[in-house]
């Protein structure tokens, strides 16, 4: 899962500013993506598709906000960075994406549900507590499938794990299996204009040029 930004030098040869432009965008583009996703907007500037009622209920049980921000552990968003820098002739291409890292076990509703129950001071017999525990048990089964189980306090490898963030990011971006696409990696048209305006204002396009961007 990657998104690229390409610049073509107008003079027909590499601009001496390419390294500076690359350095600047390497920080600014991931920041812009995080900021836009946090605002719940996709790469077209439209609202990201809402979460399902079931997932919202789970988030609520975990004590988490239900707005669409594509965060559970924060790992996916936190790992967005420049993956590649290619300068070929007078063409500079920067590729952005999420890291390959993954948690062996997604941050489980099991532990979170217990934390919430304790924080709320719910007693063991209450309906809310039982509901949280049911969610926790269901989540533990999921964890067992994708993560690592525990035996006498030691990790036991099951051979399964949660999807790597770049795969997770791809699933989210394109949807599938009944899940709606939530195109998130890349810049919206407004963001592209904003960033090019910043580059111009900073005097980085001394020699002219043009830029394009797109996902994969």
Partner 1 sequence: MANEDGSKAADAAKRALEQIERALIKQITALVSKLDTERGDSALLSDKEALANASKIRSQIVRAMEEQALASIATEVDRAALDAARAVADSLDMGDFNPDVVREIEGIISGQMAEVTDAFSKGADQIAEAMRLGVTTGDSLDNAIANVADAVHASFAKAQAAVDAAIMGAGRKVAVDDATAAQDAAGEPIVMLYVGPDDQKTRDFCAEYVGKAVRLDDLGKLDNGTDLDAETFGGGYNCRHSWAAMLRSEAEAQGIEIVEV
Nearer to partner 1, 63 or 181 (CB): 63
d(CA 88, CA 170): 27
When asked if residue 63 is in the footprint of partner 1 (CB under 8 A), the reply is: yes
Residue from 31, 189, 208, 214 in contact with partner 1 (CB under 8 A): 31
Which range binds partner 1 by CB under 8 A, 1-9, 85-93, 158-166, 207-215?
158-166
**Beta-carbon contacts of residue 152 (< 8 Å; ≥ 6 apart):** none
Which range binds partner 1 by CB under 8 A, 1-9, 88-96, 105-113, 181-189?
105-113
Task: Work out whether the CA dihedral 66, 67, 73, 76 comes out positive or negative.
Answer: positive
Q: What's 7-31 look like in SS3? A: EECCCCCCCCCHHHHHHHHHHHHHH
Residue from 14, 99, 181, 211 in contact with partner 1 (CB under 8 A): 99
Residue from 202, 206, 208, 214 in contact with partner 1 (CB under 8 A): 202
CB 146, min distance to partner 1, A: 9
Give strand pairing partners of 156: 149
3-state class of 216 per DSSP? Answer: coil
**Helix (DSSP H) and strand (DSSP E) numbers for the chain:** 7, 6
Residue 156: other Cβ atoms inside 10 A: 9
Residues from 34 through 53 that contact partner 1 (CB under 8 A): 34-35, 38
Q: Residues in the site for partner 1, rule: CB under 8 A?
A: 19-21, 23-28, 30-32, 34-35, 38, 62-65, 69, 71-75, 77-83, 99-105, 107, 111-112, 115-116, 118-119, 121, 148, 150, 152-155, 157, 161-162, 164, 194, 198, 202
């Amino acid at each position: 899962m990657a998104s690229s930004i390409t610049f073509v030098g107008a003079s027909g040869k590499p601009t001496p500013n390419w390294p500076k432009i690359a350095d600047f965008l390497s920080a600014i583009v991931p920041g812009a993506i995080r900021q836009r996703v946090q605002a719940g907007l996709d790469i077209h500037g439209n609202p990201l598709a809402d979460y399902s009622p079931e997932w919202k209920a789970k988030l609520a049980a975990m004590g988490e906000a239900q707005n669409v921000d594509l965060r559970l552990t924060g790992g996916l968003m936190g790992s967005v960075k420049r993956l590649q820098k290619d300068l070929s002739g007078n063409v500079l291409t920067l590729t952005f994406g999420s890291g390959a890292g993954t948690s062996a076990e997604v941050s489980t509703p099991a532990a979170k549900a217990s934390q919430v129950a304790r924080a709320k001071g719910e007693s063991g017999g209450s309906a809310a507590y039982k509901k949280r525990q049911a969610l926790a048990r269901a989540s533990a089964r999921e964890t067992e499938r994708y993560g690592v189980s525990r035996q006498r306090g030691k990790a036991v490898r099951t051979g399964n794990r949660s999807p790597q963030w770049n795969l997770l990011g791809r699933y989210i971006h394109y949807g599938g299996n009944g899940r709606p696409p939530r195109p998130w990696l890349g810049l919206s048209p407004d963001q592209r204009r904003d960033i090019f305006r910043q580059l111009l204002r900073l005097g980085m396009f001394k020699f002219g040029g043009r830029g394009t961007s797109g996902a994969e």
